[in-house]
Each structure stands twice: as structure tokens, then as C-alpha cells.
Chains A and B, each alone.
Chain A
């Protein structure tokens, strides 16, 4: 049972345009959400997070939006750069229950020069 779903396995965008990566979750107890980026042969690197008390968090070119009623979040990258090409994982946690993060399967983003 996938509690965190990243239904699109890949996304290709032109350099300078916006990248929108989507994530859905099913567990209504999740209250903290994170995005990680992973390059080949490296571990995942934290990118940005959002608490369920917010609906938007911004850090430079990266913005995460949370729609709790739809159990949906998205990561916007503007403008996209070739160095952003990587696998992006959405993760969620129920901070009151335990210490684990539940990850989606990831989306491979390719930014074309």
C-alpha cells in the first residue's frame, strides 16, 4: 500500500521554464512533508519541507505547495536549470506517531539546455 504516490515517473522541461513535480498521499495523519533530490551514486539530499499548518513554503527557486483537503503537494522549480536534473522524492511523516519518513517512488526530472 503506497501511502505516498508519485504517479509520474519522469518529467522533461526546457531550461528556464517551470518544473512542477506532484505528489499525493493517502494517510491523513501525515503532518510534515519533505522533498529530497538524488543524483546517481549519491544519497538523497534534503531540498525543502512544509508543515501541515502551512500551505506554501519557498526557498529560492524552490516552492512547495500543500493542499491538505486534496492530500496533494507539489514542488515548483523556477527557473529550471540543467543541474536540477535528478530524481526527486516526496516524503511524509506522522510526527506524533513515529520517526520514520515514508517516501514515494520518485520522479526523474530532466532539464534540457
Chain B
């Protein structure tokens, strides 16, 4: 079945650094959603993308819908300790289902 692979799997960064992560699919998507999950909590929607090439920002976060429609990218600028968590991409698989990526675990060193 469809899978979404995220890289890197995990990363340690220094506070203040910029972060980049990506999500790739074997098939074309018409929507990309990016979520952040804190320990013991539910995923929180960060950014939604609906058009190939679209670049959308939410504060220090910027996400892009890849031109091939098989990938998406999330960047975090000037990371802070509260950026710690797991970042998931998600895309529609059929009409009534979203599948989630494997996740990127971010750890920020103060």
C-alpha cells in the first residue's frame, strides 16, 4: 500500500538553528498536511498544502508542496526548545482516509 517516508528519522539541533525535513510518497498526492505531536498528546495541525509548488508559512514554520506532487518539505527557522516533538506529514489515501508518515523526531539542545 501507499507509504509516506520521512527523513531524517530524528535530529538533534542547537537552539537558534534552522531545521529542514521532508516527506516522500510513491504516489501523487493532492494534499499535504503537517502535524506536530508532543509526548502523550494528539497531533496538532501546523500547515495544510493544496497545490503543487505552494509555499505556506505559519510563524517560523514554512512548508512546501513539491512540484512532482510526491513530496513535501517543512522548515523551521530559529528553533527554540518548545519545537521539540515529533513532526508527521499526512496525505489522503482515497477519499476518506489520511495516512501518516513515519515521523521526524526533533530534539533541540539549549
The reply to whether chain A is a binding partner of chain B is no
Report which B residues bind A (CB closer than 8 A). none
Report which A residues bind B (CB closer than 8 A). none
